[in-house]
Amino acid sequence: MLGRNRNSALRLAATSILASSALAQSNFTCQSSGAGTTYNATSKYLGCYLDPSVSILGAVKLSTIAMTPELCTNFCGARGYSYAGINFGTQCFCDVQANFANAQKTTDGNCSSKCYTDPTQRCGATYVESLYQVTNPQGNASTGSASNNFIPACQTSPLCSHQVCNTSLSTADRVASLVSELELEEKILNLVDSAAGSGRLGLPPYEWWNEATHGVGSAPGVQFAHMGSNYSYATSFPSPILTAAAFDDALVRAIGEVVGREGRAFGNGGFAGFDYWAPNMNAFRDPRWGRGQETPGEDIFHVQNYVKNYVPGLQGPDADQKQIIATCKHYAVYDVETGRYGNDYDPSVQDLADYYLAAFKTCVRDAHVGSVMCSYNAVGGYPSCANEYLLEEVLREHWGFDSTSSYVVSDCGAVTDIYQYHNFTNTEEAAASVALNAGTDIECGSSYLKLNASLADGQVTIARMDQALNRLYSALFTVGYFDGNQYTSLDFSDVATPDAQNLAYTAAHEGMTLLQNDGLLPLGETNSYKNVAVIGPYANATTQMQGDYSGTPKYLRSPLSAFQNQSGWNVTYAMGTLINAFNDSGIQAAVDAAKNADLIVYLGGIDGTLENEQLDRLSLTYPSYQLELISQLANLNAPMIVVTFGGGQLDHTPIFNNSGVDSVVWAGYPSQDGGPALLDVLLGKQSIAGRLPVTQYPASYANETNIFDIALRPNVNSTGRTYKWYTGVPVRPFGFGMHYTTFSFAWDDQPGSHYDITELIAASQNNGPINDNTPFTTVTATVQNTGNHTSDYVGLLFLSSDSGPLPLPNKSLVSYSRLHNITVGGSDQLILPLTLGSLARADVNGNLVVYPGNYKLMLDNDACLEYSFTLTGDAAIIETLPTQGPRSQYNFTVPVNVQAPSWQAYS
């Protein structure tokens, strides 16, 4: 791929065009059901407006790098809208009326973004809108008359007359013909996320940036219409960290199916694209990471299972006929926001194999994801989006990432960062070149717009550009973008259905986790409490409960509203203090409000003001003024519950040690039904069985461990990462979670007491190639409810061993399962499958190896059941990584500066 000269590339391109001309001899009929009519808007410029909430116009949106005032007004006017405006340089908004309530007219100079394809014109700016009135909208300008529904591209004119729409040809030939017809400038304009399409060919513009972390989310490609209109809302599920706490793979799959269905409905309605940048499956390695809330937690096996279920849920069962295209992000070794644009991490190959790459392997090899996003940071000195080891040797060659219809997209601005922050190249043009050459097929950003200069300088080839475009359009074929598919009929009636709403409620209560209980909980559906004080900065939370990467839900039910609707309760509310207050304002008023209460519920923790994208936490302590308020409330001597929200764990030691606090619950970001779900858990209407998906560390951890130290194993800079390697005493361990009842346990089926590794591998080979997914055995155990409340139960099966490279992990999660509604006196069976990967550990070369030695299985953190067995014989490699990590040198077409590992923020 690297080092091909420009002349050979031009010859390859010419050959491709000739081949496509031959294809064009096939006869077919253009069958158009849409577009093609000529409409030209007339418009009046109204001025430049500050638009901080992006709320001046909001009925319909179009995003494209080819945006101009003419394109925007034609787009809006053709749909019957009388107002059009351009924000962010690429986004056109339409509406029947302009809302100036949150807008302020400013000087034209503030609309400073030049239109990319016509720099003589202005296309708004960031949160600044160039506003126009369309004076000749088609149809009824009071409602917007024309449908915004997406029409498969090959059902529109003039594209339908081109060979890309000739269904008698193979998909590969159809895509090749389309790419061959694109002019060079058109090719470049379709290698960025706000792809321009081709007005000349009739290829529609397409925005690749859509979000679906825990529901259809706000993004440049997603538009939520005005409330009350179709496509004004979508189901908002709890943040992944709370869903992960349920340890319920079937729940994850069901959520993925709903999000995929709703995402496709939005695409069909013209309110989103057909690809979504989810899931975020970087493991939550450091408790300070601001985006840990988006992830399934710290354990990589748990993350792998999450991906194995969420991705097929989103995409559907057929990789060639997808519901939507999912994107596994961020590849790779990305879990720090501080300095993220320029940092380099140099993990050992052992950690790469064991931890940092494992979930991406699952995503590609097992879940057959359609897209992978390369991350901001560098790995081994090479920026991830210019990292040939990651993108070619591992992703495509080793894991088999589809080279024809699967693509790599950059994180937004990551290609520019190669030059700007990593200083890996000397120019932005060179940054675009190394990214494209290394395998980044499409950029979220604008550096690829310099590829014309890169081509002229011999830094890239037309053949590589064509390869990227072929992958992108082939991927769009898999979702029916050109022809439609079985999901094309999904529409707004498939969004936020009763089943979807019920699932969001279920996910919220299944993940909630009981951290302490002195017998107060459950309160009982009928209870004697009359005066209930609801205190704290989360008491009346709505959007605050959603976490980041959220969309607009049909409703948001706060804890306060749920408590106020509880029969027999007289509820008194006071916020008391802000999440991270700088003074004690409001504390006394809250204490006064609770003085006559016979039950106090405090709702606090952290939110997006302390943990978010670009915002790591500095401390693990509970915010000080919240602790002060909790302490004063506890002194009132009423029964008291503390509910902590947020993704990252806080050190609850002062709360656990406060005798005035009876019960503590962690509720994550429970989203749209967080209030009712929490109330029902506290009452006992729903059982509580969540388990912490991350370790709750003591506050001192932030001072003992360098956030930039990427190593998992303990060293001079770190006390060890995650429950596997942490050498201290956690406040609450990974997997901790209490119940309202008690259980007894008994083994049913156990492994044998002894296995010869050679014989084990030989027997396993009868079922196909050996890897970490190869079945080993299945363990079963009976769980009996010996208490007084019907309850779910999560069985976590850990394994420890005395074998393999030192240091040894404390233990490893190797299987889990969730049982539902075990009645009092009743029982159910845990079925816990094990694989060869359960036994394997990575050696110093990145090989996954099954070692001889003594092994012990333990059910749950307290090892309520144990079983030991031995493996004998020679160690066996079941999987490898190529070349034992990044090579010291690659054949770049431009000068590069290999980066040293970061021990401080580099951006």
Is there a contact between 297 and 303 (Cβ–Cβ < 8 Å)? yes
Mean pLDDT of 672-688: 98
Is there a contact between 158 and 171 (Cβ–Cβ < 8 Å)? no
Mean pLDDT of 424-453: 97
- Domain edges within the chain: 43-134, 150-211+322-485+883-906, 509-704, 743-874
Q: Is the pLDDT of residue 10 over 60?
A: no
Structural tokens at position 856: 């012990």
Identify the pLDDT of residue 11.
Answer: 31
Is there a contact between 370 and 314 (Cβ–Cβ < 8 Å)? no
- Hey, what CATH topology would domain 509-704 get? Rossmann fold (3.40.50)
Structural tokens at position 235: 């189901």
Which of 411, 417, 548, 651 is the catalytic position?
Answer: 411
Place of tokens 């144990």: 866
Mean pLDDT of 691-699: 98
Of residues 190 and 884, the one with the higher pLDDT is 190
Q: Is the pLDDT of residue 20 over 80?
A: no
Instruction: Pick from 11-25, 136-150, 847-861 the range whose average pLDDT is largest.
Output: 847-861
Determine the Cα–Cα distance for residues 372 and 896; give it in Å rounded to an integer: 24
Q: Is the pLDDT of residue 545 over 80?
A: yes
Residue 32 banded pLDDT, cuts 50, 70, 90: low
Identify the pLDDT of residue 717.
Answer: 86
Place of tokens 């999987």: 879
Determine the Cα–Cα distance for residues 696 and 408; give it in Å rounded to an integer: 35
Q: How far is CA 370 from the centre of its chain?
A: 14
Task: Return the SS3 of 443.
Answer: strand
Mean pLDDT of 713-742: 96
Of residues 167 and 886, the one with the higher pLDDT is 167
Structural tokens at position 10: 């031009």
Structural tokens at position 750: 């156990």
Determine the Cα–Cα distance for residues 122 and 820; give it in Å rounded to an integer: 58
Identify the pLDDT of residue 26.
Answer: 44
Identify the pLDDT of residue 102.
Answer: 83
Identify the pLDDT of residue 34.
Answer: 57
**What average pLDDT does the chain have?**
94
Place of tokens 């930039």: 708
Q: Which of 848, 855, 765, 769 is nearest to 812 (CA)?
A: 855
Mean pLDDT of 827-843: 97
Q: What is the pTM of this model?
A: 0.95
Mean pLDDT of 225-242: 96
- In the chain, pLDDT over 70 holds for what percent of residues? 95
C-alpha distances in Å from residue 213, one per residue of 217, 265, 279, 468: 7, 16, 6, 26
Q: Is the pLDDT of residue 275 over 50?
A: yes
Q: Which residues contact 479 (CB under 8 A, 6 or more apart)?
A: 264, 267, 274, 275, 322, 323, 324, 325, 485, 487
CATH of domain 743-874: 2.60.40.10
For 766, counting Cβ atoms within 10 Å of its Cβ (0-12 exposed, 13-18 middle, 19+ buried), the class is: exposed
Structural tokens at position 687: 């059982």
**Other beta carbons within 10 Å of 897:** 11
Mean pLDDT of 828-845: 97
Beta strand 407-410 with 371-374 is: parallel
Q: Which residues contact 417 (CB under 8 A, 6 or more apart)?
A: 341, 342, 376, 383, 431, 907
Structural tokens at position 415: 């290609």
Mean pLDDT of 814-839: 98
**Other beta carbons within 10 Å of 112:** 14
The architecture (CATH level 2) of 150-211+322-485+883-906 comes to Alpha-Beta Barrel (3.20)
What is the number of alpha carbons within 13 Å of residue 646 lying toward its C-beta?
29
Measure the CA angle with vertex 665, ends 664 and 668; round to 5°: 140
Q: Which residues contact 294 (CB under 8 A, 6 or more apart)?
A: 213, 239, 240, 241, 279, 280, 547, 548, 549, 647
Is there a contact between 172 and 178 (Cβ–Cβ < 8 Å)? no
pLDDT tens by residue, 445-485: 999 999 999 999 999 999 999 999 999 999 999 999 999 99
Place of tokens 């307290």: 862
**How many residues make up the chain in this entry?**
907
Q: Is the pLDDT of residue 19 over 60?
A: no
Active site residue 411: yes
Residue 141 banded pLDDT, cuts 50, 70, 90: confident
Residue 139 banded pLDDT, cuts 50, 70, 90: confident
Identify the pLDDT of residue 33.
Answer: 58
Identify the pLDDT of residue 31.
Answer: 66
Q: Which of 742, 865, 729, 743 is nearest to 796 (CA)?
A: 865
Identify the pLDDT of residue 28.
Answer: 63
- In the chain, pLDDT over 90 holds for what percent of residues? 92
Q: Which of 270, 281, 260 is nearest to 335 (CA)?
A: 281
Structural tokens at position 61: 């949106």
Identify the pLDDT of residue 8.
Answer: 34
DSSP letter assigned to residue 390: I
pLDDT tens by residue, 491-522: 999 999 999 999 999 999 999 999 999 999 99
Q: Is the pLDDT of residue 731 over 90?
A: yes
Mean pLDDT of 781-805: 98
Is there a contact between 623 and 583 (Cβ–Cβ < 8 Å)? no
Q: Is the peptide bond before 332 cis (omega within 30 degrees of 0)?
A: yes
Residue 621 banded pLDDT, cuts 50, 70, 90: very high
DSSP string for residues in 794-856: EEEEEEEES-SSSSPPS-EEEEEEEEEEE-TT-EEEEEEEEEHHHH-EE-TTS-EEEPPEEEE
